[in-house]
Structure 1
Amino acid sequence: MPRTIKVACAQTGSVESENMLSSVPTAVKMIEQAAEKGAKIITFCELFMSPFFPNRLVEDNDHFFTEPDGPVLAPILAAAKKHAIALVLPFGERANTGNYNSALIVNSSGKILGTYRKTHIPAYFPNEKAGGTGSYEKFYFTPGGSLPVFDVDGVRIGVQICNDRLYPEGSRVLALSGAEIIFMPIAYSVYANPEHRNSIWELAIRSRAFENGVYVVAANKVGVEGVRRHLGRSMIVDPTGMKMAEASNETEELLIQDLDLDAVSASRKKFPWWRDRRPELYGPIAQG
């Protein structure tokens, strides 16, 4: 019997308020729309509930973080449970061991399966050109220490958050661990070089899908926040690296796509990456 799942990819817009509760209505509305269209799982963008605060240094930043069971996420979790839709829910996580750039994984029954914490934390200093903003994530976030795969209602998924996608090792580990879909919450902007940033946007996303024989669902933020312009162009890519759906670079949008999970094993037979791998040669990658 064919295995299929309908996924939703929520491209959310710019956020002005630093009160994360202000973004709850948008999230709930997109969950409702996704459920109405038959989607069984939805992902949102990286840190979508606040302005992208890591592009500057802010000493008073505690309000950008919350606990998974806190009041900020509660109405979103309730909406997803009501509509029986699973969630990949990015948020700034406050924990005893530090603050993390995280995504909460929740099944369609509302059960929290776990949390993925971004592992590759960047620091890009401001470009002097107009629109050139920095990324000071290393000042805000503790890096995660694992690459878990979650069984969400019978589908094996992994998560890579934004900068993680540029390191192929993480996606490869997820694929080797059985992931069929890799969700990528992203907050990618054009910085001060829109032509270059626009042209390279899809390279890593499509490469991670093709080289691992997995679906990639990449949700990127869209719109202008101060001098920072998020690119949008969220996309869903099949296991052969071909784009199945792509959002615009201008407005909020909800992508809905049916995924044939049998295509994962089919692509790996057509492109036998696993058969021809040479792990005994890859030691230097792990050694750094």
Structure 2
Amino acid sequence: MDCSDKLNVTWKKSNPGRAGQRRRALNSCCSRSWQFTGTGWPPNAGQPPKPPDGPSIKRLEQLARERQLVLCVGMSEKERDLIYNCQVLIGPQGYIGKSRKIHMSEDEGLMYVGGAAIPVFDIGKCKVGSVICYDAFYPEITRTLALNGAEVFLMPSAGRCGPWNQQTETSVAKRVKESLSWYRMRALENAAFVIITNQAGRAGTVDYYREDYRRQPYHGGGSLIFAPDGSLLAETEATTIQAEMILADLNSEDFARARANANFPLRKRRPELYGELVRPVTEA
């Protein structure tokens, strides 16, 4: 899977979605393949995009304007000498904002640094926040987004599942899809819509791993959309590992009904008891 800017924008243009679709979420780092060397930004990966002024952003702004879409796009971002894994939001009027991945998993720390903010963006029809890949393992992030007004969680991922072949890819895709189902709780406990997208296919290499090592960037795919009550609105249907688009209407009445529930969790919180959650991390 070649994740170059040109090919990805071409793919997006050839898959505009159905009439009336207004939001589209794309995978973590979808505009660049993974190219970990452990020695900084690799020379064979080109230059990372520069929100909001880079050429990748300008091309995506044109696409959003032509299709009247709000795009959530994953890319690596370089600021000074630091590289971030980020999601940018781009709408018909141009660049909206970016979210940086906060927690680094395993080898990501060799390339990336974590962000230091949990922003919420008003995109017109609703307020959204991004939760990037491994950050989804930290429910504090989605709870913070909900407390700050987010109604939709955009949760792109590039979850790795190890090498596969023609005989095993069906079971790999099934396993990855099943592992994504726990995202349902992020919707239910915050009464928010949740959109999960996961890369499908192979993207780049981690140079210091052997070719067949399980942590090479093989991605099993699997995307889901949940309503604020935890019900499933849409899911991928492919039985093999391949790119697939899913669509769902997000009804504001579903959101209002979930938030009006007498047992809406945010209304029953006891923050005076949660001090351990913000205690500085110490060695185990």
Looking at structure 1, the residues matched to 13 and 104 of structure 2 have their Cα atoms a distance apart, in angstroms, of 29
Partner residue of 2:105? Answer: 122
Looking at structure 2, the residues matched to 170 and 275 of structure 1 have their Cα atoms a distance apart, in angstroms, of 17
Q: Which of the two has greater strand per residue?
A: 1
Looking at structure 2, the residues matched to 197 and 260 of structure 1 have their Cα atoms a distance apart, in angstroms, of 28
What is the aligned residue count? 255
State the Cα RMSD in Å: 2.2
Deviation at 1:60, TM superposition (A): 5.1
In structure 1, runs of 5+ residues without a counterpart are: 1-13, 124-135
Looking at structure 1, the residues matched to 119 and 81 of structure 2 have their Cα atoms a distance apart, in angstroms, of 18
Taking a change above 3 Å as real, the CA distance of residues 97 and 60 of structure 1, as seen in their structure-2 partners, is: closer
In structure 2, runs of 5+ residues without a counterpart are: 164-170, 204-210
Deviation at 1:97, TM superposition (A): 6.1
TM-score, scaled to structure 2: 0.82
Looking at structure 1, the residues matched to 104 and 40 of structure 2 have their Cα atoms a distance apart, in angstroms, of 19
Q: 1:224 aligns with which of 169, 186, 202?
A: 202
Q: Higher relative contact order by CA 8 Å / sep ≥ 6: 1 or 2?
A: 1
Looking at structure 2, the residues matched to 96 and 57 of structure 1 have their Cα atoms a distance apart, in angstroms, of 18
Looking at structure 2, the residues matched to 154 and 49 of structure 1 have their Cα atoms a distance apart, in angstroms, of 26
Partner residue of 2:26? Answer: 44
Partner residue of 1:154? Answer: 125
Contact 1:214 1:264 in 2 (8 A): yes
Is the aligned partner of 1:201 residue 2:180?
Answer: yes
1:93-242 map, 5 Å: 93-96=77-80, 98-110=82-94, 112-123=95-106, 136-191=107-162, 194=172, 197-203=176-182, 205-225=183-203, 227=212, 228-242=217-231
Taking a change above 3 Å as real, the CA distance of residues 58 and 198 of structure 1, as seen in their structure-2 partners, is: farther
Q: 2:271 aligns with which of 264, 271, 279?
A: 279
Aligned-partner SS, 2:8? helix
Q: Once the two structures are superposed, what CA deviation does each residue of 1:179-229 show, in whole Å capped at 9, x if it has no partner?
A: 1100011111223794765542221x1111111100001111112347543
Percent identity, aligned pairs only, is 26
The letter for the 2-side match of 1:52 is W
Aligned-partner SS, 2:21? coil
- Greater mean alpha carbon deviation, residues 64-73 or residues 259-268: 64-73
Looking at structure 2, the residues matched to 155 and 108 of structure 1 have their Cα atoms a distance apart, in angstroms, of 15
Looking at structure 2, the residues matched to 80 and 216 of structure 1 have their Cα atoms a distance apart, in angstroms, of 22
Partner residue of 1:130? Answer: none
Partner residue of 2:62? Answer: 78
